[in-house]
A and B are shown apart, each in its own frame.
Chain A
Amino acid sequence: MPDGSEAGMALSDLKTDGTELVVLSVLAQEPQYGYAISKHVAALSDGAWSIGAGQLYPLLSKLEKSKLVSASWDEVKADPDDSGGGRRRKWYRLTAKGKQRLQQRIEAHRKATAVLERFIGGADVAGGAA
């Protein structure tokens, strides 16, 4: 009998994969910075899917190290008229390797969804076993 850790790991992997799929999909549309990614995800899912900063930034770091995304910096000025120095902003863009990974993830997701659909499509929830 499994002690539950196996199931826990599978669930965790599913969430991680889902988040990675979402982030890669957002970056496939256009380069973004971290905060904009989290806002985009929340807006597109009507708030149903939120990626906390504590999850997003380590994930972006991991994707960058795996060369699935590349990063560049620009400067943000708090006040456009201010000639003083602003803060730095890190932008992410999908690499060719990232696009390939995204394609693989999308295909895997569609296959998994199609298999699930075979089960739930024929389920008679209302009738059921009485």
Chain B
Amino acid sequence: MTASEQQTKGRDAVESSARDPIADWLAVFGRTLAVPKAEAREILDELEDHLRTRVDDLLIAGLSEPEATRRAVGELGETVALAKGFREARTHRRRRLLMQAATISAAAAAVTISVWTAMAPGAGGAGGVAGGGDGAAAAMVASGRDGGASVVAVFEPDDAPLGELVIDEMALADAFELLAGSFDRTALVHWNELGLSPLGYQAAPVTLSNLTAEEAIEKLMSSSGIEWLGEVRVRMRPTVMEVGPRSHFDSAERSRREYSMGEIDLSVQIHDRQIDLAHRVL
């Protein structure tokens, strides 16, 4: 569904309901939000208070109730843009730290070197694959010219299973983006390798709950009647949810080299334009 269609849908909800147009608008907006459930509840409660207080003010100013409601909802702007604003606010700190690390790294070595560190012995795994879970904190490290490294930012792991995400009828690419947003990431989909087109497929309405990202994508595709003969894999990187066929990640895996340095295992993996370094303290 396009942004304007989404907005039209929100407006229709306001205009068509004889019951509670604000509650209907919030229900529509809630589906576009794609943030964890508890946080979505808080955002919707806050917006409900805003809308109802604004409507009260407009009624005092002499507007009719339908007109006041339309005006109050209209002032919030497009639902898609508003939802995006909240998602960006969630990821703002993470992105800022990544930008700092990337800037320092680029200045030092002309490449971005990111390091995922397993803080606890045996936790997570040393691979250049972020999202190992198991309590592993991820750390971003910038390399120096002399090969030394310094930690400039630390991230908490954020790869819990999806709470609940309701997908309306929309382009499959938009559905992937919503799903990635619910994990605080943007979607990077290897469409060609999956043999799919980003614009050629529509997602069918489906509710995804208590699933891993891989399971959610499998369900999304199967419920939309998309048959893909293979295994879809998902890799959670610090800001990106990468989706592709198993073969893609297998070949990336082949580029990985591992080294042992005393009490530290070091792993080096080359992506398209980025080198991932991972180390595990034994």
Q: Point out residues on A near B: beta carbons under 8 Å.
A: 33-35, 52-55, 57-59, 61-62, 65-66, 73, 76, 78, 87-90
28 contacts between A and B (CB under 8 A): A33-B49, A35-B49, A52-B75, A53-B47, A53-B50, A53-B75, A53-B82, A54-B76, A54-B85, A57-B43, A57-B85, A58-B82, A59-B89, A61-B43, A61-B89, A65-B89, A65-B90, A65-B92, A66-B92, A73-B45, A87-B48, A87-B49, A87-B52, A88-B46, A89-B46, A90-B42, A90-B45, A90-B49
CA distance A45 to B52 in the complex (A): 24
Given contacts A53-B75, A61-B86, 15 further A-B contacts (CB under 8 A): A52-B76, A53-B47, A53-B82, A54-B77, A54-B85, A55-B85, A57-B50, A61-B90, A62-B89, A65-B89, A78-B52, A87-B49, A88-B45, A88-B49, A90-B42
Select which of B42, B50, B86, B88 is within 8 A of A35 by beta carbon.
B50
B88's nearest neighbour on chain A, judged by CB, is: A58
Q: Is the CB of A34 within 8 A of B50?
A: yes
Quick one: given A61-B90, A90-B42, A90-B46, are A52 and B77 in contact (CB under 8 Å)? yes
A58 touches B85 (CB 8 A): yes
Encode B48-77 as 1/0 by CB contact (under 8 A) with A.
Answer: 111011100000000000000000000111
How many Å from the CB of A51 to the closest CB on chain B? Answer: 11
**B93 in the interface (beta carbon within 8 A):** yes
* In the complex, chain A residues whose CB is within 8 Å of the CB of B92: 62, 65-66
| Contact partners of B77 in chain A: CB under 8 A | 52-54
- Closest A residue to B41 using CB positions: A88
Chain B residues near A76 (CB-CB < 8 A): 49
Q: Is A89 a contact of B85 with CB atoms below 8 Å?
A: no
- Give the complex CA separation of A59 and B90 in angstroms: 10
List B contacts of A62 (CB < 8 A). 89, 92
Query: Which residues of chain A are within 8 angstroms of B42 by Cβ–Cβ distance?
Result: 90
B93 / chain A contacts, CB cutoff of 8 Å: 65-66
Nearest to B77 among chain A residues (CB) is A54
Which residues of chain B come closer than 8 Å to A78, judged between CB atoms? 52
Whole-angstrom distance between the alpha carbons of A73 and B50 in the complex? 14
Kindly state the separation between the CA atoms of A54 and B86 in the bound complex, as whole angstroms. Answer: 9
Chain B residues, CB < 8 A from A54 = 76-78, 81-82, 85
**B195 → chain A, closest Cβ, in Å?**
35
B47 cross-chain contacts in A, Cβ below 8 A:
53, 57
Interface residues of B in 182-237 (CB under 8 A from A): none
- Chain A: which residue is nearest B42 at the CB level? A90
